[in-house]
Amino acid sequence: MSTMHDAFIEQLKDIYSAETQITKALPKMVEAAHSDELREALQHHLEETRGQIDRLDRIFEELGTPATGKKCKGMEGLLSEGEEGIRSHESGPVGDAVIIANAQRVEHYEIAAYGTVRAWADELELDDAAELLEETLDEEAAADEKLTSIAEGGLLATGVNQEAGGKK
Ligand code: FE
Ligand code: ZN
Ligand code: FE
């Protein structure tokens, strides 16, 4: 019979795979971003993501379990749609709005995943793991909010205005 502890490790492996995939996808998004603010935010989150993988490594080490062995198909799908978005929009405010839309789907997926494992770690009385997962959860939430503020800070309006201008 599988235990809650097994299920916890399975979830963590899925997240590990997701984060690893994200470190490969973010540089492409950084390159495709048109606005400096968006590019810098994505670059910053790439560095944060590397730190999140380090935290997961520490948790796996403590659990005495390898981090690998599972591929997150959910993240694979989200990132593949993200690449599609980059390919089908030229660099500019609209392209940036699409990058943000897809990046926020990734952040929400991560927030859901970390919220669960943080709660499970508490329940399993894995206090160090719970604390590390909480730190990452906070970073994911901040990354999501930053993306919202970039979108609301004029980028959306610029994209819409540009379109209106182009139709004249
Ligand atoms: Fe992450
Ligand atoms: Zn997954
Ligand atoms: Fe993230």
* In the chain, domain spans: 4-164
Average pLDDT, integer, range 123-147:
98
- With cut-offs at 50, 70 and 90, classify the pLDDT of residue 168: very low
Q: What's the pLDDT score for residue 69?
A: 87
CA–centroid distance, 162 to ligand 2, in Å, is: 37
Q: How far apart are CA 35 and CA 56, in angstroms?
A: 31
Chain center to CA of 107: 4
CA–centroid distance, 34 to ligand 1, in Å, is: 22
Which residues neighbour ligand 2 (ion) by CB within 5 Å? 14, 72, 74
Q: What's the pLDDT score for residue 162?
A: 72
Please name the amino acid found at residue 164: A
Q: Which has the closest alpha carbon to 52: 114, 121, 109?
A: 114
- With cut-offs at 50, 70 and 90, classify the pLDDT of residue 166: low
Chain center to CA of 89: 21
CATH code, residues 4-164? 1.20.1260.10
Which residues are CB-neighbours of 76 under 8 A, at least 6 positions away? 21
The single-letter DSSP state of residue 152 is I
Q: What's the pLDDT score for residue 11?
A: 98
